[in-house]
Structure 1
Amino acid sequence: MSYRLTHASYLLLMSSILLPQNVQAVEDTVPMTSAECLQDIDFTAQFLLENDAGIQAQKWTAYPESIQHVLNTQKEKAAQVQTVKQCQDIAKPFLQAIRKGHVSLSSRSMEDYVQTSSTPQEDDLVTTKKLSDSTTYIFIPSFGLSIKDQLEKIIKNNQDNLLNAPYLILDLRKNAGGQDSSAEPVYKLLGKAEYWSEIPQIYTSPTNIQAYKDLQKVMPDTETKKKLGEIINKMEHNKNDWVYIEGNTSLFVDKIKKKDVLANPKKVVVLTDEDCGSSGEEFVKTVRQNPRVVTMGRNTYGVLDASNLRDIKTPSTKLSLWYATSYVHRRAGQEIDNIGIPPSIKLPVPKDQQAYDDEVKFAQMYLEKNL
């Protein structure tokens, strides 16, 4: 069985929206000199111009005047830096001027991410709830490496009647991303369908080729290593150019066939908001093609066109620069970066936690009362 986005299922699409609090606490105490910070920012600016896929897609050879102004302004503040966190705060406006996400300076390396996300974290657990005899709710906090196994176990156990419920609510409002393959089990819950996706292209600078080789070394399974090897081979034969992650065409179609379907709900609501990004957005973009699915909430975060992040240590070695190695060249007007994906049914920004929680009740009422 081939699932949607098999061409990217083995690649990390980690979102840079949120950083765990324990990591932030460490950064608050790690010392950094002003000279180290300035060196790291200069390195970051030049490295991104040469290697970031989002920037290469814009064909910048230098930063636009407005972005260069932000960079110059922030560099002047480096003289006051005493910690890693302060340096990150100074660099952030410059990075956000480039793009809303999928570019960051972090104390976490990709190897750290692979190791920690392979094990379920306390705040990264899939939960379900039987809201009624008709509706089952599934909260998917991310698409980290551990999520696929969690989903498969929940489905196998038919937890909270999710295989038989006429209606499903998939809550992705806090789903900041991960990797596309973690979402694969969910598609079997949505009935027979056909999904089209644009295939990302990787920018094949020598540094990016090495980054994929480094990723191949730390990935835990042989299948992933093999897939990465195929990509690396293609990149090495097309240096300083663009190559599709799989094949040589811009579109990919995947069909969920009847024999592979595990559930046939009448209707499915997918809850989204501005905290849903990266692989979370990829899932939303894909499932909204399914006639059973209705998206509800607010625009997603808007970090998907430039993706497939890799990292490199800055000169100080105290930070890792996360940047995009791939880009989806979408048709004009269909870009997602800095915009997000609008829902089919738009809900106002909740004024408090109760209003936020009530969105689930509204989704249930919408499904059960056929609003």
Structure 2
Amino acid sequence: MKILFLILMLLIPFVSSAQQCDCLQNFDYTVNHVREDYAGYKDKIKARNRKGFDNFTSLLRKKAMTADRVDSCYIILRTWTNYFRDNHLRVQLDWRYRQKYPESVKLLNKRFAKPKNINVSTEKLEALTNIRILDEKTVLLRLPSFEWGEKKMIDSLLKAYDQQLKRTPNWIIDLRGNVGGTDYAFSGLMPFIYTDPIHIKPDEFLSSIDNIQILAENLKDSDLSQAGKDFITNLIGLMKQHPNQFVNPSGKDNFDIRLDTVYQYPANVAILIDRNTASSAESFLLSAVQSKKVKIYGENSAGTLDYNNTQFFDIPCKDFNLVIPIGRSKRLPKNPIDNIGVRPNIRIDEAHPDKISFIKGLLDK
């Protein structure tokens, strides 16, 4: 029924001043690359759903034959990638297109907007990474992003507040709206909240010709650290040795991270999340919750973590970006996160007007 509804959506005329494109060429490119390079493709397309998926793809391909504008083609491409229910896998509009046609983008986004809940919070979230001392017992860490650029800020704040943090018994870490970035961004937090060995399930990577090529392109990035270069070089070597298979650079199905020190403080760490806490932020949750100090508050996280290590492919139409995850977690298939999310220990209704004060009150008891 959902698929039929999406197909009917495509029959509605969409008029704008957007540029033209060869939609069929872009559709075939997207389908071929996702089939060959997406780490989740064979997990999600099985015998039980293959016929329905093939029919779905054929219907959209026929629509692509007559679509000749960026906006109408975008609807077709995004409808197809949405089948996989993986927010890391997507066709998105290039930033130049978004800048040039802002009104068209608004209309397009409305077609794919998620239904809004009636009872939603009116809280305004702090947009900047910061640390605030609420009182002698409680500190608030606001971490709105784990993008690479935030790592330096997070680490500098942890260093500047080091002694105060180690004297404060209660921490509140606000991760609402944090859609992730890189696990390296939160590495400096882990020693503070650590109590027990952290059990990790590593990622494995799909070896394909295109994935090898795009990783080789990544090596040309002048901002890439030496550690990053070493990792990619090793990964490429493994991929070349094992074509069309999954390779595991760690060489292990699981491992433990052990630290030498368990700090007295913080004694209690409350991590506040919402439905927009995603990707690397969820990776942080899975590690942090293994500490005896940590409890998670709020609502289920976004559920966008199982397929990862996204790469940007040069789709023929330059107004699009094709983003494909080439890695998957060794947690699968037993412990999926996608479309489920990390569940909080203590649920707080989204409509609650002041969640920080609510959590502080619980910690003060």
> So what's the TM-score if we normalise by structure 1?
0.78
Query: What runs of 5+ residues in structure 2 fail to find an aligned partner?
Result: 1-14, 96-125
Q: Which amino acid aligns with 2:308?
A: S
CA RMSD of aligned residues (A): 2.7
Does residue 365 of the first structure (1) align with residue 361 of the second (2)? yes
Aligned to 2:216: 213
Q: How far is the alpha carbon of 1:124 from its aligned partner?
A: 6.0
Once the two structures are superposed, the pairs formed by residues 1-150 of structure 1 within 5 Å of their partners are 31-33=18-20, 35-58=21-44, 60=46, 64-75=50-61, 78=64, 79=66, 82-83=69-70, 85-108=71-94, 125-150=128-153
Distance in structure 1 (CA, Å) of the matches to 2:363 and 2:90: 39
Q: Which amino acid aligns with 1:217?
A: K
Q: Which amino acid aligns with 1:317?
A: K
Aligned to 2:104: none
Q: How far is the alpha carbon of 1:221 from its aligned partner?
A: 2.1
CA 1:87–1:160: 2 relative to 1, 3 Å: farther
Does residue 274 of the first structure (1) align with residue 275 of the second (2)? yes
Aligned to 2:157: 154
SS of the equivalent of 1:294 reads strand
Q: How far is the alpha carbon of 1:86 from its aligned partner?
A: 4.4
Distance in structure 2 (CA, Å) of the matches to 1:212 and 1:270: 34
Q: How far is the alpha carbon of 1:92 from its aligned partner?
A: 2.1
- Stretch deviating more after TM superposition (53-62 or 360-369): 53-62
CA 1:64–1:359: 2 relative to 1, 3 Å: farther
Query: What runs of 5+ residues in structure 1 fail to find an aligned partner?
Result: 1-27, 110-122
Q: How far is the alpha carbon of 1:365 from its aligned partner?
A: 1.2
How many residues end up aligned between the 2 structures?
319
Q: Which has the higher contact order (CA 8 A, sep 6+)?
A: 1
CA 1:30–1:45: 2 relative to 1, 3 Å: farther
Q: How far is the alpha carbon of 1:158 from its aligned partner?
A: 0.6
Q: How far is the alpha carbon of 1:345 from its aligned partner?
A: 1.2
Q: Which amino acid aligns with 2:357?
A: K
Does residue 233 of the first structure (1) align with residue 237 of the second (2)? yes
1:207-259 per-position Cα deviation (integer Å, ceiling 9, x unaligned): 1111111112114322211221111111111111111132x21102111221x
SS of the equivalent of 1:335 reads coil
Distance in structure 2 (CA, Å) of the matches to 1:156 and 1:273: 27
CA 1:164–1:188: 2 relative to 1, 3 Å: same
CA contact (8 A) 1:49 1:60 kept: no
Distance in structure 2 (CA, Å) of the matches to 1:162 and 1:81: 58
Q: Which amino acid aligns with 1:82?
A: R
Q: How far is the alpha carbon of 1:133 from its aligned partner?
A: 1.6
SS of the equivalent of 2:187 reads helix
CA contact (8 A) 2:304 2:338 kept: yes
Distance in structure 1 (CA, Å) of the matches to 2:144 and 2:27: 32
Distance in structure 1 (CA, Å) of the matches to 2:198 and 2:162: 26
- Stretch deviating more after TM superposition (326-335 or 90-99): 326-335
CA 1:238–1:154: 2 relative to 1, 3 Å: same
Q: How far is the alpha carbon of 1:93 from its aligned partner?
A: 2.5
CA contact (8 A) 2:195 2:292 kept: no
Distance in structure 2 (CA, Å) of the matches to 1:95 and 1:63: 15
Q: How far is the alpha carbon of 1:269 from its aligned partner?
A: 0.6
1:97-139 per-position Cα deviation (integer Å, ceiling 9, x unaligned): 1123111113459xxxxxxxxxxxxx86312222222111111
Distance in structure 2 (CA, Å) of the matches to 1:326 and 1:251: 16
CA 1:335–1:254: 2 relative to 1, 3 Å: same
Q: Which amino acid aligns with 1:99?
A: R
Q: How far is the alpha carbon of 1:342 from its aligned partner?
A: 1.0
CA contact (8 A) 2:195 2:293 kept: no
Once the two structures are superposed, the pairs formed by residues 244-323 of structure 1 within 5 Å of their partners are 244-246=248-250, 248-258=251-261, 264-323=265-324
SS of the equivalent of 2:141 reads strand
> So what's the TM-score if we normalise by structure 2?
0.79
Q: How far is the alpha carbon of 1:157 from its aligned partner?
A: 1.1
Distance in structure 2 (CA, Å) of the matches to 1:134 and 1:67: 55
CA 1:30–1:304: 2 relative to 1, 3 Å: farther
CA 1:61–1:239: 2 relative to 1, 3 Å: farther
CA contact (8 A) 1:129 1:160 kept: no
Q: How far is the alpha carbon of 1:302 from its aligned partner?
A: 1.1
Q: How far is the alpha carbon of 1:301 from its aligned partner?
A: 0.9
